[in-house]
Structure 1
């Protein structure tokens, strides 16, 4: 006979650990532990050459200046649209016409969510031809523009009279063929991982339908906006929100959609991975949290909130992102070196300690590099948010990958499922 008190204790233990691991404080602490070890030669996988940080900082600064000129904009999925020569905000405003600010905010939030969830890592072989201009796009800008056109065509809406929305009914019935067509996937133009993203979108539909208290009876992603800042009369003039509160709500409400099966006491952890050298309290010991996709989604929601008149506080409470191009820049610049060069020719899985450590070192080193970049550009933290530095690193790393390896990352990670 099952002991119910044992189940309750284990569940409580899991909830305590998950609450700790869902904080950006834990992300910074655990990643910092691994950087400290690597710097004193205790890493099995990497050495750290602090003398090469200047080269990485220079590449990031060059990328920021090239992309933004004198006006550095936060890194988000909206930058991918702009890189694909689509002004998502302006075009959505045009299509919506004269609507209430809250309706506009809902559309922006819905669009941000689906474009992020369709941010499929794409190598140099897949391409997307933008219908209006005939421009051929590759990489993240291609998936962003493709997702934008799918959204405006009503692929994610069950109401054909209201195509500019995302709702649970449409996502639960999302046809894979429709998504393949929207992203121009066919023989000779494959996009590995897209089927997994289709499953992710369907799971989002299920989760939204099951949580009307979060996503409202309309079961739309934009229910998060109303939950955090809205009221029955619309958007209050004094509305504000903390960036970490957006992330926390995403981590709690969307935890069932992530395919990563890590849990403690039945409580899902999302993008958290084991590393034998990491220490922490209680059941969180040995776990390294990243929450990369959830933080990427948070970064991409900040502008829709701000465009809607909501003041977003505490943006730098979010961490740097452990993306493969960001981490690739650190390897290409020589800041990180593999102890065994042959490791670059192997295929690894997300749970392998070399990958967990690479991601952790990427987060910790980018946060250090942010100070150098700000100093060189004469900017404070408020004048140059961490997300701008992360964006510069991602762009610089992608440039290196395209130049050196036809778009392949410096360390090959086989991850069919997205990292939450």
Structure 2
């Protein structure tokens, strides 16, 4: 079905960056009026949250280093154990490929690594074998473990169809990837080392391969017979910068241009169950009942709230190597929002800015009990549990987006650093704060105060 002009405009809006912040603000306004359906909000606690974040930033960074906090991107997770693995990887390519191809390869890696960064569960780890620099094996869990597993698979050529170019990700390599290969790459043992959503991740990567084939305008190479790769988007973006006037010797590229490649070029990765209009999948867009008007006309979309968390996470992450290695300056980067995921959102719940209404907490605990009875599920540290599509999770995520903007304002004010970016506040502050308070509050699992049942596609 071809969308009508008005429907096409609605789809374009809901897939845009401004829509994320605008719709989240509508939910925040409902909270101000005491009209949320699933949470109570104590606005007096917002200052306490900001103070806690500032305390951690001051603890973890010297005063002179705070203005230079790196942005919150996937590349940070490769640095676990204070080892710059991305720098080492780039060094291994020196003299064999140029800077443009180096960045293409990094984008290849970033794309699959972001897609594989769904919740891993509390039992899974990835063991890094000893080498010259590291004398003993070390096991890593969660986002860092997933990052290192992906890096290892990338270096082994598991995502490439060309044995002579193993350090790349291409359409055929993804479409031909087997579940067994992915399971082996993640060191999964169903009994001893289970990974949540393994088949969901596998299906996601195969859909990525199909997306690359569906969008040659972004992923085709100028080389004859070269494979379709995520990294080829670098050429599209660099051309935009080359075609526009430079700014202080920098190539200026619109952040919206990169986001459009990510949101449209990877549209086919989303499961068919996601929200759609006229057969067009919107991806990470969900109906929010706090915005639902009584007696609303059928087909209305005024209560849809877009998050595009994965697409924004990928955008933040791709921006970094293009900025540092290709001298690109990003225009309108402030359109990107805070990321509505369980570390940032968990911080708000653990510090009691948001509290589940009693009825919803009771329902979440019943869900937890049912899930705990499944094989392999831990029955420790009971927390309310919900499906990704549950109205509780949608309301929580919307409030997280809007509240992160306000936390950033307070953090800048308390630090006296008005130019600190939202990406820096996420990296140095809220994400780490959410993880730290979770580890103190729930030391056995270090999980969030509200659990989301992961299927490997919600991040």
Same fold (TM over 0.5): yes
Q: Is the 8 A contact 2:35 2:290 kept in 1?
A: no
State how many pairs are aligned: 411
2:69 is aligned with 1:72: yes
Residue 175 (structure 1) aligned to one of 166, 173, 178:
178
CA deviation string 1:57-90 (max 9, x = no partner)? 1332244345554131100111111124442331
Q: Is the 8 A contact 2:338 2:401 kept in 1?
A: yes
Q: Is the 8 A contact 2:291 2:302 kept in 1?
A: yes
2:255 is aligned with 1:243: yes
Structure 2 gaps of 5+ residues are 222-226, 368-384
3-state DSSP of counterpart to 1:47: strand
Residue 202 (structure 1) aligned to one of 186, 201, 206:
206
- Further displaced range: 104-113 or 338-347: 338-347
Q: Give the ranges of 4+ consecutive aligned residues of structure 1 lying more than 6 Å apart after TM superposition.
A: 233-237, 279-282
Q: Is the 8 A contact 1:14 1:267 kept in 2?
A: no
CA deviation string 1:155-176 (max 9, x = no partner)? 1111112111111111000111
- Further displaced range: 329-338 or 34-43: 34-43
2:106 is aligned with 1:108: yes
What is the alpha-carbon root mean square deviation over aligned residues? 2.4
Q: Is the 8 A contact 1:105 1:305 kept in 2?
A: yes
CA drift of 1:140 comes to 0.7
Counterpart residue number, 2:270: 258
Residue 349 (structure 1) aligned to one of 366, 384, 387:
387
CA distance in 1, matches of 2:60, 2:93: 28
Q: Trace 1:219-238 onto structure 2 (pairs within 5 A).
A: 219-230=228-239, 238=250
Q: Trace 1:66-145 onto structure 2 (pairs within 5 A).
A: 66-69=59-62, 70=65, 71-98=68-95, 99-132=97-130, 133=134, 134-145=137-148
Counterpart residue number, 2:340: 322
Counterpart residue number, 1:16: 9
CA deviation string 1:99-149 (max 9, x = no partner)? 211111111111111111111212332111112331221111111111111
Counterpart residue number, 1:60: 53
CA drift of 1:343 comes to 4.9
Structure 1 gaps of 5+ residues are 1-6
Q: Is the 8 A contact 1:84 1:142 kept in 2?
A: no
3-state DSSP of counterpart to 1:311: strand
CA distance in 2, matches of 1:124, 1:417: 14
- Further displaced range: 360-369 or 410-419: 410-419
- Closer/same/farther in 2, CA of residues 414 and 124 from structure 1, 3 Å limit: closer
3-state DSSP of counterpart to 1:37: helix
Residue 162 (structure 1) aligned to one of 150, 162, 165:
165
CA distance in 2, matches of 1:368, 1:150: 39
CA drift of 1:283 comes to 4.5
TM-score (norm 1): 0.91
2:405 is aligned with 1:385: no
2:316 is aligned with 1:277: no
- Further displaced range: 216-225 or 272-281: 272-281
Q: Is the 8 A contact 2:37 2:290 kept in 1?
A: no
CA distance in 2, matches of 1:159, 1:234: 33
CA distance in 2, matches of 1:412, 1:320: 20
Q: Is the 8 A contact 1:244 1:318 kept in 2?
A: no
Q: Is the 8 A contact 2:23 2:305 kept in 1?
A: yes
- Closer/same/farther in 2, CA of residues 326 and 334 from structure 1, 3 Å limit: same
- Closer/same/farther in 2, CA of residues 65 and 144 from structure 1, 3 Å limit: farther
TM-score (norm 2): 0.84
